[in-house]
Amino acid sequence: MADFDSLQLRRNMVDSQIRTTDVTDLRVLEAFLAVPREAFAPADRKAVAYADTDIEIVAEGATGPRHLMKPSPLARLVQLAEVKATDVVLEIGGAGYAAAILSKLASAVIALDDDPVHSIRAGALLSRTGCDNVVTVIGELAKGYPSEAPYDVVFIGGAADVVPAAVFEQLKEGGRLVVVEGRGNAGIAKVYGKHDGHVAGRKAFNASVRPIPGFLAEAGFVF
């Protein structure tokens, strides 16, 4: 991989995959230029780290795989969150890369995973890439992380059938929650806001991303 030019590949990714999907926020574009995606990919996938595809992470001892979300929908979701430099963000289940991107935009990021193997791996990679304002924590994804709530932003790093009330309750007044609701081609990115104690959401764009554990409907659930 002597000819692996990470910075040039990141520039290509931003120009051909992210800018072309209506991502115009300069802070978001700079965050994707700053974070080496290959650092969060498994060794056998680093060569394709900048393809516009999900990358599966299978770790020995983990209860299941995680995925790096493909760059284009991830960038659109990050832009939708409108993260400010003073914000505290709860990032749920994003395998490290999403937390790294958010760390370039926010004051602090709490990255939640329910699997210790994946959480430890993400923590080590975040430290190695200089994301010193990220704390990795372990807990049930669908319960959020109430001990550090409320949050300015909750970012759910995968598709959900349902968002539990307990997670919405952790939003600060004026806060935003970003999630893709629905699976496959039926997925729709939504942003929720809390105002006067009430949460309301709006549809933003269609998005097909991998499901996230803990936010899937039980068997037999009917929409």
DSSP designation for 216: S
Does 218 score more than 80 pLDDT?
Answer: no
DSSP designation for 7: H
Q: Which of 48, 195, 68 is nearest to 125 (CA)?
A: 68
Averaged pLDDT for residues 180-207? 94
pTM value is 0.93
Quick: pLDDT tens for 87-143.
999 999 878 999 999 999 999 999 999 999 999 999 999 999 999 999 999 999 999
Q: Taking phi first (over 0 means left), then psi (-120 to 50 degrees means alpha), and beta for anything else, what does residue 184 get?
A: left
Burial classification of residue 197, based on how many CB atoms lie within 10 Å of its CB (0-12 exposed, 13-18 middle, 19 or more buried): exposed
Residue labelled with tokens 């926010």:
106
CATH numbers and ranges of domains, the chain: 6-206 (3.40.50.150)
Quick: pLDDT tens for 42-100.
999 999 999 999 999 988 888 888 899 999 999 999 999 999 999 999 999 878 999 99
**Average pLDDT taken over every residue of the chain:** 92
Q: How far apart are CA 47 and CA 223, in angstroms?
A: 40
How crowded is residue 2: how many other Cβ atoms within 10 Å of its Cβ?
4
Does 221 score more than 80 pLDDT?
Answer: no
Q: How far apart are CA 9 and CA 51, in angstroms?
A: 9
